[in-house]
Structure 1
Amino acid sequence: MAACNAYYYATRDPLGVGGDFTTAPEIHQMFGEMVGAALADVWTRIGKPVEAVYAELGPGRGTLAGDASRVLRRVGFEGAIHLVETSPALRERQAALLPEAIFHDSLDSLPEVPLLLAANEFFDALPVRQFVGDRERRVILAGGTMAFDRDGEIVETSPARAEVAEQLGRHLATHGGAALVIDYGYAGGERGDTLQAVRAHRHALVLDRPGEQDLTAHVDFKALAEAARKGGADASRIVSQGSWLETLGIGARAMALAAKNPDDTQSIAEARRRLCDEEQMGRLFKVLALRAPDWPSVAGLE
Protein backbone atom coordinates (compact mmCIF):
# COMPACT_ATOMS: atom_id res chain seq x y z
CA MET A 1 0.00 0.00 0.00
CA ALA A 2 2.81 2.41 0.88
CA ALA A 3 4.70 1.63 -2.34
CA CYS A 4 1.60 1.94 -4.52
CA ASN A 5 0.54 5.27 -3.02
CA ALA A 6 4.08 6.69 -3.15
CA TYR A 7 4.19 6.07 -6.90
CA TYR A 8 0.58 7.12 -7.43
CA TYR A 9 0.93 10.54 -5.79
CA ALA A 10 4.39 11.21 -7.20
CA THR A 11 3.22 10.91 -10.79
CA ARG A 12 -0.06 12.85 -10.98
CA ASP A 13 -2.53 15.36 -9.59
CA PRO A 14 -5.34 12.97 -8.62
CA LEU A 15 -7.88 15.62 -7.61
CA GLY A 16 -10.87 17.11 -9.38
CA VAL A 17 -13.25 16.11 -12.14
CA GLY A 18 -10.45 14.86 -14.37
CA GLY A 19 -8.78 12.95 -11.54
CA ASP A 20 -9.82 10.13 -9.26
CA PHE A 21 -11.45 11.86 -6.28
CA THR A 22 -12.47 15.21 -4.79
CA THR A 23 -11.71 16.38 -1.24
CA ALA A 24 -13.68 18.76 0.96
CA PRO A 25 -11.52 21.86 0.30
CA GLU A 26 -12.15 21.45 -3.43
CA ILE A 27 -15.91 21.35 -2.91
CA HIS A 28 -16.16 24.88 -1.54
CA GLN A 29 -14.12 27.57 0.20
CA MET A 30 -16.41 27.31 3.25
CA PHE A 31 -14.62 24.18 4.42
CA GLY A 32 -11.20 25.80 4.53
CA GLU A 33 -12.66 28.92 6.07
CA MET A 34 -14.14 26.91 8.96
CA VAL A 35 -10.78 25.21 9.54
CA GLY A 36 -9.03 28.58 9.44
CA ALA A 37 -11.57 30.12 11.81
CA ALA A 38 -11.11 27.33 14.35
CA LEU A 39 -7.32 27.66 14.27
CA ALA A 40 -7.53 31.47 14.36
CA ASP A 41 -9.73 31.27 17.44
CA VAL A 42 -7.26 29.02 19.28
CA TRP A 43 -4.32 31.24 18.28
CA THR A 44 -6.15 34.35 19.49
CA ARG A 45 -7.13 32.81 22.83
CA ILE A 46 -3.58 31.66 23.57
CA GLY A 47 -2.36 35.23 23.09
CA LYS A 48 -1.42 35.40 19.40
CA PRO A 49 2.15 34.04 19.65
CA VAL A 50 4.09 35.62 16.79
CA GLU A 51 6.37 32.60 16.33
CA ALA A 52 3.48 30.27 15.39
CA VAL A 53 3.22 28.93 11.83
CA TYR A 54 0.50 27.30 9.74
CA ALA A 55 1.34 23.74 8.72
CA GLU A 56 -0.48 21.10 6.71
CA LEU A 57 0.05 17.39 6.14
CA GLY A 58 -0.86 16.19 2.66
CA PRO A 59 -2.08 19.58 1.38
CA GLY A 60 -3.50 18.44 -1.97
CA ARG A 61 -3.52 21.36 -4.36
CA GLY A 62 -2.99 23.88 -1.55
CA THR A 63 -6.65 24.93 -1.57
CA LEU A 64 -7.22 24.30 2.13
CA ALA A 65 -4.01 26.11 3.08
CA GLY A 66 -5.04 29.08 0.95
CA ASP A 67 -8.53 29.36 2.41
CA ALA A 68 -7.48 28.71 6.02
CA SER A 69 -4.51 31.09 5.94
CA ARG A 70 -6.68 33.82 4.44
CA VAL A 71 -8.91 33.67 7.52
CA LEU A 72 -5.88 33.56 9.81
CA ARG A 73 -4.42 36.67 8.16
CA ARG A 74 -7.62 38.58 8.93
CA VAL A 75 -6.98 38.29 12.67
CA GLY A 76 -3.36 39.37 12.40
CA PHE A 77 -1.57 36.05 11.93
CA GLU A 78 1.67 36.60 10.02
CA GLY A 79 3.28 33.17 10.38
CA ALA A 80 4.77 31.26 7.47
CA ILE A 81 3.00 28.43 5.64
CA HIS A 82 4.70 25.03 5.89
CA LEU A 83 3.50 22.16 3.70
CA VAL A 84 4.49 18.52 4.21
CA GLU A 85 4.29 17.09 0.71
CA THR A 86 6.38 14.50 -1.14
CA SER A 87 4.64 14.56 -4.54
CA PRO A 88 6.47 16.68 -7.16
CA ALA A 89 3.24 17.02 -9.15
CA LEU A 90 1.27 18.34 -6.18
CA ARG A 91 4.10 20.54 -4.95
CA GLU A 92 3.98 22.29 -8.31
CA ARG A 93 0.26 23.01 -7.89
CA GLN A 94 0.75 24.14 -4.30
CA ALA A 95 3.63 26.47 -5.19
CA ALA A 96 1.58 28.10 -7.94
CA LEU A 97 -1.19 28.90 -5.45
CA LEU A 98 1.06 29.63 -2.45
CA PRO A 99 4.43 30.86 -3.74
CA GLU A 100 5.51 31.73 -0.20
CA ALA A 101 5.04 28.17 1.07
CA ILE A 102 7.95 26.25 2.59
CA PHE A 103 8.01 22.55 1.70
CA HIS A 104 8.95 19.55 3.81
CA ASP A 105 9.32 15.86 3.06
CA SER A 106 8.18 14.84 6.53
CA LEU A 107 6.93 16.09 9.86
CA ASP A 108 10.51 15.83 11.20
CA SER A 109 11.69 19.02 9.55
CA LEU A 110 8.85 21.33 10.62
CA PRO A 111 10.19 24.26 12.66
CA GLU A 112 10.35 23.90 16.43
CA VAL A 113 7.64 26.49 17.07
CA PRO A 114 3.90 26.36 17.82
CA LEU A 115 1.94 24.79 14.96
CA LEU A 116 -1.52 25.61 13.69
CA LEU A 117 -1.83 22.39 11.73
CA ALA A 118 -4.42 20.78 9.48
CA ALA A 119 -4.43 17.19 8.21
CA ASN A 120 -7.38 16.62 5.90
CA GLU A 121 -7.59 13.20 4.24
CA PHE A 122 -3.95 12.54 5.08
CA PHE A 123 -4.05 9.60 7.48
CA ASP A 124 -6.38 7.48 5.31
CA ALA A 125 -3.63 7.08 2.70
CA LEU A 126 -1.03 5.80 5.17
CA PRO A 127 -0.65 2.01 5.00
CA VAL A 128 -2.63 -0.44 7.11
CA ARG A 129 -1.92 -4.00 8.16
CA GLN A 130 -4.70 -6.58 8.19
CA PHE A 131 -4.98 -9.67 10.41
CA VAL A 132 -7.24 -12.70 10.23
CA GLY A 133 -7.03 -14.16 13.71
CA ASP A 134 -3.38 -14.02 14.67
CA ARG A 135 -2.12 -14.28 11.07
CA GLU A 136 -1.27 -11.26 9.00
CA ARG A 137 -3.02 -11.04 5.65
CA ARG A 138 -0.60 -10.76 2.76
CA VAL A 139 -0.59 -10.33 -1.00
CA ILE A 140 0.55 -13.29 -3.09
CA LEU A 141 0.76 -14.25 -6.75
CA ALA A 142 -1.88 -16.80 -7.71
CA GLY A 143 -2.38 -17.86 -11.31
CA GLY A 144 -0.30 -14.95 -12.54
CA THR A 145 -2.31 -12.29 -10.71
CA MET A 146 -2.18 -10.77 -7.25
CA ALA A 147 -4.52 -12.08 -4.57
CA PHE A 148 -4.91 -12.04 -0.80
CA ASP A 149 -3.61 -15.14 0.93
CA ARG A 150 -6.50 -15.49 3.39
CA ASP A 151 -10.03 -14.33 4.13
CA GLY A 152 -12.08 -14.16 7.31
CA GLU A 153 -12.90 -11.65 10.02
CA ILE A 154 -10.36 -8.88 9.52
CA VAL A 155 -8.81 -6.53 12.05
CA GLU A 156 -6.89 -3.55 10.68
CA THR A 157 -4.04 -1.73 12.38
CA SER A 158 -1.77 1.04 11.18
CA PRO A 159 1.61 1.45 12.87
CA ALA A 160 2.43 4.12 10.28
CA ARG A 161 -0.50 6.27 11.38
CA ALA A 162 0.28 5.78 15.05
CA GLU A 163 3.89 6.82 14.48
CA VAL A 164 2.89 10.09 12.79
CA ALA A 165 0.23 10.86 15.41
CA GLU A 166 2.67 10.25 18.26
CA GLN A 167 5.30 12.40 16.56
CA LEU A 168 2.76 15.18 16.05
CA GLY A 169 1.66 14.89 19.67
CA ARG A 170 5.28 15.17 20.80
CA HIS A 171 5.83 18.30 18.70
CA LEU A 172 2.70 19.97 20.07
CA ALA A 173 3.52 19.04 23.65
CA THR A 174 7.08 20.37 23.33
CA HIS A 175 6.60 23.48 21.21
CA GLY A 176 2.90 24.34 21.52
CA GLY A 177 0.08 24.52 19.04
CA ALA A 178 -3.10 22.81 17.90
CA ALA A 179 -3.93 20.40 15.09
CA LEU A 180 -7.12 19.42 13.31
CA VAL A 181 -7.36 15.91 11.88
CA ILE A 182 -10.24 15.42 9.45
CA ASP A 183 -10.77 12.17 7.62
CA TYR A 184 -13.23 9.38 6.99
CA GLY A 185 -13.26 6.63 9.55
CA TYR A 186 -14.64 5.52 12.88
CA ALA A 187 -14.38 6.41 16.55
CA GLY A 188 -12.64 3.15 17.49
CA GLY A 189 -13.15 -0.55 18.05
CA GLU A 190 -14.71 -1.44 14.71
CA ARG A 191 -13.59 -4.54 12.86
CA GLY A 192 -13.60 -5.41 9.18
CA ASP A 193 -11.89 -4.77 5.88
CA THR A 194 -11.99 -1.07 4.94
CA LEU A 195 -9.16 -1.09 2.40
CA GLN A 196 -10.46 0.41 -0.83
CA ALA A 197 -9.33 1.66 -4.22
CA VAL A 198 -10.75 4.58 -6.17
CA ARG A 199 -10.18 5.40 -9.82
CA ALA A 200 -12.05 7.98 -11.90
CA HIS A 201 -14.42 8.66 -8.96
CA ARG A 202 -15.49 5.00 -8.81
CA HIS A 203 -14.55 2.17 -6.51
CA ALA A 204 -12.15 -0.30 -8.10
CA LEU A 205 -10.62 -3.66 -7.20
CA VAL A 206 -7.95 -3.10 -4.56
CA LEU A 207 -5.30 -5.26 -6.24
CA ASP A 208 -6.02 -4.02 -9.76
CA ARG A 209 -3.46 -1.74 -11.47
CA PRO A 210 -1.11 -1.14 -8.51
CA GLY A 211 0.19 2.41 -8.38
CA GLU A 212 -2.45 3.66 -10.80
CA GLN A 213 -5.33 4.18 -8.36
CA ASP A 214 -5.82 5.71 -4.93
CA LEU A 215 -5.58 3.25 -2.02
CA THR A 216 -7.06 4.23 1.34
CA ALA A 217 -8.55 2.71 4.47
CA HIS A 218 -10.83 4.10 7.16
CA VAL A 219 -9.07 5.89 9.99
CA ASP A 220 -9.32 4.60 13.56
CA PHE A 221 -9.59 7.95 15.35
CA LYS A 222 -9.39 6.40 18.79
CA ALA A 223 -6.02 4.89 17.90
CA LEU A 224 -4.80 8.27 16.59
CA ALA A 225 -5.88 9.99 19.80
CA GLU A 226 -4.13 7.38 21.93
CA ALA A 227 -0.91 7.73 19.94
CA ALA A 228 -0.99 11.53 20.18
CA ARG A 229 -1.53 11.32 23.94
CA LYS A 230 1.45 8.99 24.14
CA GLY A 231 3.44 11.80 22.54
CA GLY A 232 2.24 14.19 25.25
CA ALA A 233 -0.59 16.06 23.53
CA ASP A 234 -4.19 16.40 24.65
CA ALA A 235 -6.81 14.89 22.32
CA SER A 236 -10.38 16.09 21.98
CA ARG A 237 -13.56 14.12 21.66
CA ILE A 238 -14.30 12.80 18.19
CA VAL A 239 -17.24 14.33 16.32
CA SER A 240 -18.69 14.05 12.84
CA GLN A 241 -17.61 16.55 10.20
CA GLY A 242 -21.16 17.72 9.57
CA SER A 243 -21.86 18.37 13.23
CA TRP A 244 -18.58 20.23 13.68
CA LEU A 245 -19.04 22.45 10.63
CA GLU A 246 -22.59 23.34 11.64
CA THR A 247 -21.47 24.13 15.20
CA LEU A 248 -18.77 26.43 13.85
CA GLY A 249 -21.31 28.34 11.76
CA ILE A 250 -21.08 27.09 8.21
CA GLY A 251 -24.79 27.82 7.84
CA ALA A 252 -24.29 31.52 8.60
CA ARG A 253 -21.29 31.62 6.29
CA ALA A 254 -23.32 30.03 3.48
CA MET A 255 -26.05 32.65 3.93
CA ALA A 256 -23.51 35.49 3.88
CA LEU A 257 -21.88 34.17 0.70
CA ALA A 258 -25.28 33.70 -0.96
CA ALA A 259 -26.27 37.26 -0.08
CA LYS A 260 -23.13 38.57 -1.78
CA ASN A 261 -23.42 36.19 -4.74
CA PRO A 262 -27.13 35.57 -5.44
CA ASP A 263 -26.38 33.68 -8.64
CA ASP A 264 -24.40 31.12 -6.63
CA THR A 265 -27.08 30.47 -4.00
CA GLN A 266 -27.91 26.98 -5.27
CA SER A 267 -24.28 25.86 -5.64
CA ILE A 268 -23.45 27.16 -2.16
CA ALA A 269 -26.40 25.26 -0.67
CA GLU A 270 -25.40 22.10 -2.54
CA ALA A 271 -21.82 22.39 -1.27
CA ARG A 272 -23.02 22.79 2.31
CA ARG A 273 -25.20 19.70 1.96
CA ARG A 274 -22.35 17.69 0.50
CA LEU A 275 -20.04 18.68 3.33
CA CYS A 276 -22.54 18.33 6.17
CA ASP A 277 -25.41 15.96 5.37
CA GLU A 278 -25.25 12.55 7.02
CA GLU A 279 -25.93 10.80 3.72
CA GLN A 280 -22.90 12.49 2.15
CA MET A 281 -19.69 13.51 3.96
CA GLY A 282 -21.26 14.68 7.20
CA ARG A 283 -21.33 11.45 9.20
CA LEU A 284 -18.59 9.27 7.69
CA PHE A 285 -15.97 11.99 8.06
CA LYS A 286 -14.77 12.68 11.59
CA VAL A 287 -12.89 15.52 13.28
CA LEU A 288 -10.29 15.22 16.04
CA ALA A 289 -8.29 18.06 17.61
CA LEU A 290 -4.87 17.63 19.18
CA ARG A 291 -3.25 20.36 21.25
CA ALA A 292 -0.48 21.23 23.64
CA PRO A 293 -1.73 20.69 27.21
CA ASP A 294 -1.51 24.42 27.98
CA TRP A 295 -3.34 25.49 24.82
CA PRO A 296 -7.12 26.06 24.73
CA SER A 297 -9.56 23.56 23.24
CA VAL A 298 -10.57 23.89 19.61
CA ALA A 299 -14.07 25.30 19.12
CA GLY A 300 -16.73 22.65 18.64
CA LEU A 301 -14.53 19.95 20.16
CA GLU A 302 -14.44 21.03 23.79
Structure 2
Amino acid sequence: MYSGLLLVLLPLMLGYCVPCRSTTILRLLNLAVARMVYLILFLMGISLAFVDNLVSHLGTIFSVSLVFLACISAANLVGLWCLDRRHNRLTGEPGAPLQSKWRLLLDSVWLCLVILGGVAIGQVLDPSWFAVDTLSEWALMLLLLLIGVQLRNSGMPLRQILLNPWGLSIAAVVLVSSWVGGIAGAVILDMPLQHGLAFSAGYGWYSLSGILISDQLGPVLGSAAFINDLARELFAIMLIPTLMRRFPSVAIGYGAATAMDFTLPVLQRSGGVAVVPVAIVSGFILSLAAPVFMLGFLSLG
Protein backbone atom coordinates (compact mmCIF):
# COMPACT_ATOMS: atom_id res chain seq x y z
CA MET A 1 0.00 0.00 0.00
CA TYR A 2 2.66 2.51 1.06
CA SER A 3 4.79 2.06 -2.05
CA GLY A 4 1.73 2.58 -4.25
CA LEU A 5 0.69 5.71 -2.37
CA LEU A 6 4.25 7.03 -2.60
CA LEU A 7 4.29 6.34 -6.35
CA VAL A 8 1.23 8.55 -6.82
CA LEU A 9 1.40 11.17 -4.07
CA LEU A 10 5.12 12.00 -4.13
CA PRO A 11 5.24 13.36 -7.71
CA LEU A 12 1.88 15.10 -7.16
CA MET A 13 3.17 16.83 -4.01
CA LEU A 14 6.52 17.68 -5.60
CA GLY A 15 4.70 19.27 -8.54
CA TYR A 16 2.43 21.21 -6.18
CA CYS A 17 5.54 22.77 -4.59
CA VAL A 18 6.64 24.33 -7.90
CA PRO A 19 5.39 27.90 -8.44
CA CYS A 20 5.21 29.18 -12.01
CA ARG A 21 4.24 32.67 -13.12
CA SER A 22 5.14 32.36 -16.81
CA THR A 23 2.05 32.02 -18.99
CA THR A 24 4.21 30.57 -21.78
CA ILE A 25 5.54 27.81 -19.54
CA LEU A 26 2.03 27.08 -18.26
CA ARG A 27 0.74 26.75 -21.83
CA LEU A 28 3.58 24.33 -22.60
CA LEU A 29 2.76 22.48 -19.40
CA ASN A 30 -0.88 22.09 -20.43
CA LEU A 31 0.25 20.76 -23.81
CA ALA A 32 2.64 18.31 -22.15
CA VAL A 33 -0.13 17.01 -19.87
CA ALA A 34 -2.39 16.43 -22.88
CA ARG A 35 0.38 14.52 -24.68
CA MET A 36 1.19 12.46 -21.58
CA VAL A 37 -2.42 11.35 -21.33
CA TYR A 38 -2.22 10.03 -24.89
CA LEU A 39 1.04 8.21 -24.08
CA ILE A 40 -0.40 6.57 -20.97
CA LEU A 41 -3.52 5.42 -22.81
CA PHE A 42 -1.37 4.09 -25.67
CA LEU A 43 0.67 2.06 -23.16
CA MET A 44 -2.56 0.82 -21.59
CA GLY A 45 -3.64 -0.40 -25.02
CA ILE A 46 -0.36 -2.30 -25.42
CA SER A 47 -0.84 -3.84 -21.97
CA LEU A 48 -4.34 -4.92 -22.99
CA ALA A 49 -2.93 -6.53 -26.16
CA PHE A 50 -0.70 -8.73 -24.01
CA VAL A 51 -3.77 -10.35 -22.39
CA ASP A 52 -4.33 -13.92 -23.56
CA ASN A 53 -7.56 -14.44 -25.52
CA LEU A 54 -8.37 -10.73 -25.51
CA VAL A 55 -11.54 -11.09 -27.59
CA SER A 56 -13.10 -13.37 -25.00
CA HIS A 57 -12.59 -10.66 -22.36
CA LEU A 58 -14.40 -7.90 -24.26
CA GLY A 59 -17.75 -8.89 -22.81
CA THR A 60 -16.32 -8.60 -19.29
CA ILE A 61 -14.80 -5.18 -20.03
CA PHE A 62 -18.02 -3.66 -21.33
CA SER A 63 -20.39 -5.32 -18.85
CA VAL A 64 -18.29 -4.25 -15.84
CA SER A 65 -17.90 -0.69 -17.14
CA LEU A 66 -21.61 -0.32 -17.93
CA VAL A 67 -22.75 -1.64 -14.53
CA PHE A 68 -20.43 0.68 -12.64
CA LEU A 69 -21.29 3.62 -14.89
CA ALA A 70 -25.03 3.09 -14.27
CA CYS A 71 -24.71 2.61 -10.51
CA ILE A 72 -22.23 5.43 -9.84
CA SER A 73 -24.06 7.85 -12.15
CA ALA A 74 -27.42 7.11 -10.52
CA ALA A 75 -26.00 7.62 -7.03
CA ASN A 76 -24.24 10.87 -8.06
CA LEU A 77 -27.32 12.29 -9.77
CA VAL A 78 -29.61 11.54 -6.81
CA GLY A 79 -27.14 12.98 -4.29
CA LEU A 80 -26.49 16.14 -6.31
CA TRP A 81 -30.21 16.59 -7.01
CA CYS A 82 -30.84 16.54 -3.25
CA LEU A 83 -28.13 19.18 -2.84
CA ASP A 84 -29.83 21.34 -5.46
CA ARG A 85 -33.16 20.96 -3.68
CA ARG A 86 -31.57 22.46 -0.56
CA HIS A 87 -29.23 25.02 -2.13
CA ASN A 88 -29.95 26.18 -5.66
CA ARG A 89 -27.47 29.04 -5.80
CA LEU A 90 -26.90 29.85 -9.46
CA THR A 91 -27.57 33.51 -10.17
CA GLY A 92 -26.80 35.85 -13.02
CA GLU A 93 -26.94 35.46 -16.76
CA PRO A 94 -26.05 32.20 -18.49
CA GLY A 95 -22.82 31.93 -20.38
CA ALA A 96 -22.36 32.05 -24.12
CA PRO A 97 -24.07 29.37 -26.21
CA LEU A 98 -22.11 26.12 -26.28
CA GLN A 99 -20.47 25.80 -29.67
CA SER A 100 -17.75 23.18 -29.23
CA LYS A 101 -19.64 20.25 -27.68
CA TRP A 102 -19.12 18.03 -30.71
CA ARG A 103 -15.45 18.89 -30.83
CA LEU A 104 -15.10 17.83 -27.20
CA LEU A 105 -16.90 14.58 -28.00
CA LEU A 106 -14.53 14.02 -30.90
CA ASP A 107 -11.58 14.49 -28.55
CA SER A 108 -12.94 11.69 -26.38
CA VAL A 109 -13.31 9.46 -29.43
CA TRP A 110 -9.65 10.10 -30.19
CA LEU A 111 -8.75 8.80 -26.73
CA CYS A 112 -10.46 5.50 -27.55
CA LEU A 113 -8.65 5.35 -30.88
CA VAL A 114 -5.31 5.84 -29.10
CA ILE A 115 -6.02 2.78 -26.95
CA LEU A 116 -7.02 0.78 -30.03
CA GLY A 117 -3.76 1.89 -31.66
CA GLY A 118 -1.89 0.57 -28.62
CA VAL A 119 -3.73 -2.75 -28.90
CA ALA A 120 -2.77 -2.98 -32.58
CA ILE A 121 0.91 -2.20 -31.93
CA GLY A 122 0.93 -4.59 -28.99
CA GLN A 123 0.09 -7.48 -31.31
CA VAL A 124 3.59 -7.30 -32.84
CA LEU A 125 5.53 -6.65 -29.61
CA ASP A 126 7.07 -9.31 -27.38
CA PRO A 127 5.93 -8.98 -23.74
CA SER A 128 9.20 -10.55 -22.57
CA TRP A 129 11.31 -7.55 -23.61
CA PHE A 130 8.81 -4.68 -23.80
CA ALA A 131 8.36 -3.66 -20.14
CA VAL A 132 5.01 -1.95 -20.57
CA ASP A 133 4.18 -1.95 -16.84
CA THR A 134 7.43 -0.18 -15.93
CA LEU A 135 6.98 2.37 -18.71
CA SER A 136 3.40 3.00 -17.61
CA GLU A 137 4.50 3.64 -14.03
CA TRP A 138 7.16 6.15 -15.09
CA ALA A 139 4.75 7.87 -17.47
CA LEU A 140 2.12 8.09 -14.71
CA MET A 141 4.62 9.62 -12.27
CA LEU A 142 5.63 12.24 -14.83
CA LEU A 143 1.97 13.02 -15.56
CA LEU A 144 1.21 13.45 -11.85
CA LEU A 145 4.23 15.72 -11.43
CA LEU A 146 2.96 17.97 -14.23
CA ILE A 147 -0.59 17.89 -12.85
CA GLY A 148 0.75 18.89 -9.45
CA VAL A 149 2.31 21.98 -11.05
CA GLN A 150 -1.03 22.69 -12.78
CA LEU A 151 -2.93 22.46 -9.50
CA ARG A 152 -0.49 24.81 -7.76
CA ASN A 153 -0.78 27.38 -10.54
CA SER A 154 -4.50 27.04 -11.26
CA GLY A 155 -5.10 30.54 -9.92
CA MET A 156 -7.14 29.22 -6.99
CA PRO A 157 -5.52 30.00 -3.60
CA LEU A 158 -5.95 27.36 -0.89
CA ARG A 159 -7.85 29.84 1.29
CA GLN A 160 -10.36 30.46 -1.48
CA ILE A 161 -10.87 26.69 -1.84
CA LEU A 162 -11.51 26.21 1.87
CA LEU A 163 -13.92 29.15 1.96
CA ASN A 164 -16.13 27.98 -0.93
CA PRO A 165 -18.91 26.01 0.80
CA TRP A 166 -20.81 25.20 -2.40
CA GLY A 167 -17.76 23.67 -4.09
CA LEU A 168 -16.91 21.74 -0.92
CA SER A 169 -20.49 20.46 -0.66
CA ILE A 170 -20.50 19.27 -4.28
CA ALA A 171 -17.17 17.46 -3.82
CA ALA A 172 -18.39 15.79 -0.61
CA VAL A 173 -21.63 14.61 -2.23
CA VAL A 174 -19.79 13.21 -5.28
CA LEU A 175 -17.26 11.46 -3.02
CA VAL A 176 -19.79 9.70 -0.80
CA SER A 177 -22.43 8.98 -3.45
CA SER A 178 -19.77 7.48 -5.73
CA TRP A 179 -18.86 5.02 -2.98
CA VAL A 180 -22.53 4.04 -2.65
CA GLY A 181 -22.69 3.43 -6.41
CA GLY A 182 -19.42 1.48 -6.34
CA ILE A 183 -20.71 -0.82 -3.58
CA ALA A 184 -23.95 -1.37 -5.53
CA GLY A 185 -21.99 -2.22 -8.69
CA ALA A 186 -19.78 -4.66 -6.78
CA VAL A 187 -22.83 -6.42 -5.33
CA ILE A 188 -24.45 -6.72 -8.78
CA LEU A 189 -21.24 -8.10 -10.33
CA ASP A 190 -20.39 -10.27 -7.30
CA MET A 191 -17.03 -8.53 -6.92
CA PRO A 192 -15.19 -7.71 -3.67
CA LEU A 193 -16.58 -4.50 -2.22
CA GLN A 194 -13.14 -2.88 -2.08
CA HIS A 195 -12.79 -3.35 -5.84
CA GLY A 196 -16.12 -1.65 -6.41
CA LEU A 197 -15.02 1.22 -4.16
CA ALA A 198 -11.78 1.52 -6.16
CA PHE A 199 -13.80 1.78 -9.38
CA SER A 200 -15.93 4.50 -7.80
CA ALA A 201 -12.88 6.55 -6.72
CA GLY A 202 -11.72 7.46 -10.23
CA TYR A 203 -14.07 10.47 -10.32
CA GLY A 204 -13.71 10.80 -14.08
CA TRP A 205 -9.88 10.73 -14.07
CA TYR A 206 -9.68 7.96 -16.69
CA SER A 207 -5.90 7.96 -17.26
CA LEU A 208 -5.26 7.50 -13.53
CA SER A 209 -7.97 4.91 -12.88
CA GLY A 210 -7.07 2.90 -15.96
CA ILE A 211 -3.40 2.60 -15.03
CA LEU A 212 -3.82 2.06 -11.27
CA ILE A 213 -6.50 -0.59 -11.62
CA SER A 214 -4.59 -2.26 -14.46
CA ASP A 215 -1.54 -2.45 -12.19
CA GLN A 216 -3.48 -3.96 -9.27
CA LEU A 217 -6.30 -5.95 -10.89
CA GLY A 218 -5.08 -6.55 -14.46
CA PRO A 219 -5.58 -4.80 -17.80
CA VAL A 220 -9.09 -6.20 -18.35
CA LEU A 221 -10.55 -4.47 -15.29
CA GLY A 222 -8.24 -1.51 -15.92
CA SER A 223 -9.82 -1.06 -19.34
CA ALA A 224 -13.28 -1.30 -17.76
CA ALA A 225 -12.30 1.46 -15.31
CA PHE A 226 -11.08 3.61 -18.19
CA ILE A 227 -14.33 3.19 -20.13
CA ASN A 228 -16.38 3.91 -17.01
CA ASP A 229 -14.61 7.22 -16.32
CA LEU A 230 -14.37 8.27 -19.97
CA ALA A 231 -18.09 7.61 -20.49
CA ARG A 232 -18.79 9.74 -17.41
CA GLU A 233 -16.95 12.61 -19.10
CA LEU A 234 -18.90 12.15 -22.34
CA PHE A 235 -22.25 12.17 -20.52
CA ALA A 236 -21.20 15.26 -18.56
CA ILE A 237 -20.52 17.15 -21.79
CA MET A 238 -23.99 16.30 -23.06
CA LEU A 239 -25.84 16.91 -19.77
CA ILE A 240 -24.26 20.18 -18.59
CA PRO A 241 -26.04 22.57 -21.02
CA THR A 242 -29.40 20.96 -20.25
CA LEU A 243 -29.09 20.83 -16.47
CA MET A 244 -27.17 24.00 -15.61
CA ARG A 245 -30.03 26.46 -15.12
CA ARG A 246 -32.33 24.27 -13.01
CA PHE A 247 -29.82 21.88 -11.39
CA PRO A 248 -26.42 23.62 -11.23
CA SER A 249 -24.96 21.28 -8.59
CA VAL A 250 -25.79 18.29 -10.78
CA ALA A 251 -24.23 19.96 -13.82
CA ILE A 252 -21.04 20.89 -11.97
CA GLY A 253 -20.68 17.76 -9.87
CA TYR A 254 -21.37 15.04 -12.42
CA GLY A 255 -18.13 15.83 -14.27
CA ALA A 256 -16.34 15.25 -10.93
CA ALA A 257 -12.56 15.79 -11.22
CA THR A 258 -12.89 16.98 -14.83
CA ALA A 259 -14.81 20.08 -13.64
CA MET A 260 -11.51 21.90 -13.21
CA ASP A 261 -10.15 21.11 -16.66
CA PHE A 262 -11.89 19.21 -19.47
CA THR A 263 -15.52 20.10 -18.75
CA LEU A 264 -14.73 23.58 -17.35
CA PRO A 265 -15.23 25.38 -20.72
CA VAL A 266 -18.63 23.71 -21.08
CA LEU A 267 -19.58 24.73 -17.55
CA GLN A 268 -18.47 28.32 -18.13
CA ARG A 269 -20.40 28.65 -21.39
CA SER A 270 -23.54 27.13 -19.89
CA GLY A 271 -23.54 28.81 -16.47
CA GLY A 272 -21.39 31.90 -16.84
CA VAL A 273 -18.37 32.98 -14.84
CA ALA A 274 -20.18 32.46 -11.52
CA VAL A 275 -19.78 28.69 -11.75
CA VAL A 276 -16.05 28.73 -12.53
CA PRO A 277 -14.74 29.04 -8.93
CA VAL A 278 -17.21 26.41 -7.72
CA ALA A 279 -16.21 24.01 -10.51
CA ILE A 280 -12.49 24.50 -9.89
CA VAL A 281 -12.88 23.93 -6.14
CA SER A 282 -14.92 20.73 -6.50
CA GLY A 283 -12.70 19.42 -9.30
CA PHE A 284 -9.53 20.29 -7.35
CA ILE A 285 -10.65 18.37 -4.25
CA LEU A 286 -11.76 15.33 -6.23
CA SER A 287 -8.50 15.32 -8.22
CA LEU A 288 -6.54 15.15 -4.96
CA ALA A 289 -8.90 12.55 -3.47
CA ALA A 290 -8.86 10.15 -6.45
CA PRO A 291 -5.36 8.65 -6.10
CA VAL A 292 -5.55 8.50 -2.29
CA PHE A 293 -8.87 6.67 -2.10
CA MET A 294 -8.29 4.48 -5.14
CA LEU A 295 -4.99 3.14 -3.83
CA GLY A 296 -6.41 2.90 -0.33
CA PHE A 297 -9.33 0.73 -1.49
CA LEU A 298 -7.10 -1.40 -3.72
CA SER A 299 -4.75 -2.07 -0.81
CA LEU A 300 -7.63 -3.68 1.10
CA GLY A 301 -7.87 -6.53 -1.40
**Smaller-chain TM-score bracket:** under 0.3
- Higher RCO structure, 1 or 2 (CA under 8 Å, sep 6+): 2
TM-score if structure 2 supplies the norm length?
A: 0.27
TM-score if structure 1 supplies the norm length?
A: 0.27
